[in-house]
Amino acid sequence: MTQYPALHMIIDGQKISGGGRRSFDVVNPATGEVIGALPLADPADLDRALEVAAKGFRIWRKSTPQERANVLQGAARLMLERADDLARIATQEQGKPFAEAKIELMMNVGLFNFYAGECFRIYGRELVRPDGQRSTVRHEPVGPVAAFAPWNFPLGNPGRKLGAPIAAGCSVILKSAEETPASALGVLQCLLDAGLPKEVAQAVFGVPDEVSTHLLGSPIIRKLSFTGSTVVGKHLARLATENMQRTTMELGGHGPVLVFGDADVDQVLDTAVGGKYRNCGQVCVSPTRFIVQEDVFERFRDGFIERAKAVKVGDGLEQGTQMGPMANPRRPEAIDRLIGNARDKGAKLGTGGERIGNRGFFYQPSVLSEIPLDADIMNEEPFGPIALINPFRDEESMIAEANRLPYGLAAYAWTADAKRQRRLATEIEAGMIGINTHMIGGADAPFGGVKWSGHGSEDGPEGVLACMVTKAVHEA
């Protein structure tokens, strides 16, 4: 089995550890055992990373599209060569099934290859002017980026945070989650081994608020890219105003799924149940609030419960595991609290609702139904293996429920009625909508939310443009 690697930061291409720095225990969520000691940055480390990032930007902003594409394609090839090792490391530190970790890595490969192409498609425009004069609009890289990635996609989140700035010609300081550092280091190492200049991308770890306050407090950083909870996102957005840094904020969601009476209920269940328990529900676009039309409600709820009971929970490295443990001890605690609160308010527990064993952070695939709208779980992002199923009478009330919360990340709707499909696509407030599908991602598609779910997009051409500024040049 892949040894869990020794941990370090990467500053100016050097592997930094020891030296009396504080450290953080990395834990395997399937066993609860400590598997690594992660060095945490002190202020001098962060100052050095900033200085190097400024130098990295001076180098990389002058790179050609071909140079940037070569690095991204080379890194994609190396990720493929190292796929099994990287996926095993991700499972060891995050818990998800090995097969899911591998799919996540393949998404990085697709994204880096897509971004390699985008390097050649950063166009400007020329404006119509009288003879002898010229006005042009250019896109230029924004500058050094501070990127903060969470633990739920230990390979995919760092891939997104590194890929776009590198394609745009920026430098980047990545602080990935302290719980899942080795996956992030593995992705960065592929870029460095593919020829990325060592000053262009660096990885630091630390006490999250210390790192973000220090980095965003520096005028060297020109952009903040954050994925995580809305509450932390708002805090970081406030910090970023001081130096007027641009922001891409990919925050929480509470994915509504509208299931109409004319939908093929079995087909919805076949995809929705897998979608719900993927990564133990710790997915910002997870299908969460099932808004089901009354005439199919009971069939849908009972079918969901039956399928949830059949989900095989276990160590992500064991063959056949469909759902691993939750990623850290905070998550089962949060889910226990939310389910307890909902039951106190009268919700019905269809299945689950308990931790499994006392080793690691396992939780049963769970279903609640008939949940009062004032229960905490109907208002806070649960981020766990819990489906919430409620009956509604008609399209109007279903759309109202979908739009009730301040979140607007992913939404899903299942209906055979073509006109209704178009109405829903317009009426539902979300950054991404799946109509008769739970697949809403793609390297070429923008990924991001509206309202409290954040702003700006990752992936797609939009992901690269988000790392650029426009400049108008007028020549007499």
Instruction: Judge contact between 154 and 184, C-beta under 8 A.
Output: yes
Write the single-letter amino acid at 207. V
Instruction: Judge contact between 16 and 206, C-beta under 8 A.
Output: no
284 lies in the binding site for ligand NAD (CB under 6 A): yes
Q: How far is the CB of 183 from ligand NAD (least distance, A)?
A: 13
Give the nearer residue to ligand NAD in terms of CB position, either 148 or 260: 148
- Kindly state the tokens that stand for 126: 């020329």
- Kindly state the tokens that stand for 424: 């829903």
Among 232, 240, 268, 313, binds ligand NAD (CB under 6 A): 232
Give the nearer residue to ligand NAD in terms of CB position, either 74 or 382: 382
Count of residues making up the chain:
476
CA–CA dist 291, 217 (Å, integer): 43
Q: How far is the CB of 283 from ligand NAD (least distance, A)?
A: 7
284 in catalytic set: yes
Q: For the chain, give me the number of helices (H) and strands (E)?
A: 14, 22
Give the nearer residue to ligand NAD in terms of CB position, either 142 or 251: 251
Per DSSP, the three-state class of 473 is strand
177 lies in the binding site for ligand NAD (CB under 6 A): yes
Contacts (CB under 6 A) with ligand NAD, residues 362-381: 381
Contacts (CB under 6 A) with ligand NAD, residues 319-348: 330
Among 152, 225, 415, 457, binds ligand NAD (CB under 6 A): 152
CA–CA dist 269, 249 (Å, integer): 31
229 lies in the binding site for ligand NAD (CB under 6 A): yes
User: Residue 300 phi/psi, 5° resolution?
Assistant: -65, -50
Give the nearer residue to ligand NAD in terms of CB position, either 226 or 290: 226
Among 227, 390, 415, 457, binds ligand NAD (CB under 6 A): 227
From the CB of residue 141, how many other CB atoms can be counted at a distance below 10 Å? 25
386 lies in the binding site for ligand NAD (CB under 6 A): no
Maximum C-alpha span of the chain: 78
170 in catalytic set: no
73 lies in the binding site for ligand NAD (CB under 6 A): no
- Kindly state the tokens that stand for 463: 């992901």
436 lies in the binding site for ligand NAD (CB under 6 A): no
Rounded CA Rg of the chain: 23
Residues at the site binding ligand NAD, with contacts judged by CB under 6 A: 148, 150-152, 177, 208-209, 212, 227-229, 232, 235-236, 250-252, 284, 330, 381, 383
Residues forming the active site: 250, 284
